[in-house]
Amino acid sequence: MEPMLWTIAGIMLAVAGWAGWRPWRRRRWLASRAVLEDTLKVCYQALRDGYPITMDMLAGALHTAPREVIPILQRLERDGVLAREGSFYVIARPDELADLAEI
C-alpha cells in the first residue's frame, strides 16, 4: 500500500507545482518589455484607425483579462506615454513616439 501512497503524493505535488508555475510565468510575461511594445503597437493602430483606446480593447488585443491590463496601463501612464481622457486613453506624445509604431 505504501507505493500507492507515494504515487498519489507524487501526482499531487506535480499538479501543485504546475499550477503554481503558470501564474508566475504569466506575471513575468506581463512585466516584460514585449508586452509594453505590443500595447503601444495596438494603441497606434487604434489611433490610426480612429478607434478609442480602452482597457477592454487592449485586453482583447493582448488576449488577456482586463484586470491584467491595469498594471500595464498604469506603467505607461506613469512613464508619460499614455494619458487619460475620461474613460479613454490617448497617446500623450504622439509625435515623439511615432517611431515606435514602426517597430
Tell me the per-residue pLDDT of 4-48, one tens digit each, with 9 for 90 and over: 777 877 777 666 665 555 555 555 655 677 888 888 888 888 888
The gap from C-alpha 14 to its chain's centroid, in whole angstroms, comes to 27
Average pLDDT (79-95) is 85
Helices marked H in the chain: 2-30, 33-49, 55-62, 66-78
85: left (phi over 0), alpha (psi -120 to 50) or beta: beta
pLDDT at 69 over 70: yes
Each residue of 38-65: pLDDT tens digit? Answer: 888 888 888 889 889 999 999 999 888 8
Please, which pLDDT band fits residue 80 given cuts at 50, 70 and 90?
Answer: confident
Angstrom distance (rounded) from CA 57 to CA 40: 13
Tell me if 77 sits within 8 A of 40, measured CB to CB: no
pTM for the whole thing? Answer: 0.62
State residue 63's pLDDT score.
87
